[in-house]
């Protein structure tokens, strides 16, 4: 008797290899997938403007990048002795507004350059719940711990989300017609919104995504793998909200089966062995055995750099 249901994934066309460029934007689960791509030395850029949870904020960042928006003092707000921008993550917040604006605008240019040349864009939607700043009536990507009374909370309608995703797709393909766009819904549970509210939010995201899928627009079922395949609290961290390392590894393996070119399996294993070697702590750093180990390790690193252009810094 089988006591679990496994979600079967199928290899896709136009998969990711070591010649690909991958841009990842969205919720904290984006970081999980991006960290795996980083570990295996794929060419990628992860959340250049920080973690962003809802689709309208992601749309805003992508459009701002494509249109070369220049952020000014009018886009900032001062709170708790620091300057903040409602469109980006608090990682960009700073006491010096000029340094902050310079960093945001530089990153916007970098993001546009990546959008123009990327082969794959992975967009992970976290929630359909949004906050509107009362003073400007604009939706924000991050409230920056400004008092909640200054915002109104709303649930994005499915049609609004779908229209926003369509705008992202159209704008990206105007500057990069061949980019493969991959949507996914974060398996992280937003329980601060409430149990019913979280499920309603995820449903809105899933329904909206499935309205825009085509041969260049894809869906990876990270949320469904967590909810229906793993389906057990042992796969969560202690907060019972975020997937733990076992779950992340499992979902990553499903992602590899679906989106990583099978021809790269040998290279992936070689990179893994090198990373393990670099993390190895010897009993005696000065022993002949350890010196030989390092020589072999550096030879493997040099071979991969020559054959695949992979660099270990």
State residue 112's pLDDT score.
97
Residue 30: CB partners within 8 Å, gap ≥ 6?
24, 46, 47, 51, 122, 123, 124, 186
pLDDT confidence of 29, banded at 50, 70, 90?
confident
Report d(CA 133, CA 128) in Å as an integer: 16
Domain residue extents for the chain: 22-260, 262-313
pLDDT at 258 over 80: yes
Q: Which of 159, 261, 176 is nearest to 216 (CA)?
A: 176
- pTM score, two decimals? 0.94
From the options 1.10.8, 3.30.1400, 1.10.3470, 3.40.50, give the CATH code of 22-260: 3.40.50
pLDDT at 257 over 80: yes
pLDDT at 230 over 80: yes
**Summary mean pLDDT of the chain:** 94
Each residue's pLDDT tens digit, 70-120: 999 999 999 989 999 999 999 999 999 999 999 999 999 999 999 999 999
| Lowest-confidence segment of 37-51, 175-189, 203-217, 295-309 by average pLDDT | 295-309
* pLDDT mean over 292-297: 88
With b for 16 or more beta-carbon neighbours within 10 A and e for fewer, the 18-32 pattern comes to bebbbbbbbbebbbb
Report d(CA 74, CA 22) in Å as an integer: 32
Alpha helices in 67-194 (DSSP H): 97-117, 158-175
State residue 301's pLDDT score.
92
User: How many contiguous H segments (helices) and E segments (strands) does the chain have?
Assistant: 9, 10
State residue 293's pLDDT score.
86
Each residue's pLDDT tens digit, 118-169: 999 999 999 999 999 999 999 999 999 999 999 999 999 999 999 999 999 9
What token pair was written down for 141? 């990507």
């Amino acid at each position: 008797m089988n006591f679990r249901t496994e979600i079967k994934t199928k290899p896709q066309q136009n998969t990711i290899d070591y010649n690909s460029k991958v841009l990842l934007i969205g919720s904290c689960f984006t970081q999980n997938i991006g960290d795996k791509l980083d570990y295996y030395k794929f060419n990628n850029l992860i959340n250049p403007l920080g973690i962003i949870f809802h689709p309208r904020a992601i749309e805003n960042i992508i459009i701002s990048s494509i249109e070369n928006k220049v952020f000014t003092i009018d886009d900032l707000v001062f709170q708790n002795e620091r300057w903040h921008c409602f469109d980006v993550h608090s990682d960009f917040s700073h006491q010096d507004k000029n340094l902050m604006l310079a960093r945001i605008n530089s990153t916007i240019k970098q993001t546009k350059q990546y959008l123009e040349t990327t082969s794959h864009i992975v967009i992970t939607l976290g929630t359909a719940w949004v906050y509107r700043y009362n003073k400007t009536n604009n939706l924000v990507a991050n409230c920056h711990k400004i008092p909640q009374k200054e915002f109104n909370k709303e649930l994005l309608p499915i049609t609004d989300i779908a229209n926003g995703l369509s705008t992202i797709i159209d704008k990206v393909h105007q500057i990069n017609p061949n980019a493969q766009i991959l949507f996914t819904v974060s398996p992280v549970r937003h329980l601060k919104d409430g149990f019913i509210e979280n499920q309603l939010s995820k449903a809105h995201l899933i329904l909206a995504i499935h309205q825009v899928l085509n041969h260049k627009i894809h869906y990876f079922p990270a949320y469904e793998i967590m909810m229906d395949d793993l389906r057990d609290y042992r796969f969560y961290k202690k907060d019972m909200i975020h997937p733990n390392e076992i779950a992340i590894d499992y979902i990553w393996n499903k992602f590899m089966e679906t989106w990583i070119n099978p021809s790269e399996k040998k290279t992936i294993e070689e990179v893994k062995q090198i990373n393990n070697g670099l993390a190895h702590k010897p009993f005696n750093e000065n022993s002949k055995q350890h010196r030989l180990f390092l020589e072999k390790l550096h030879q493997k690193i040099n071979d991969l750099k020559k054959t695949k252009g992979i660099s270990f810094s």
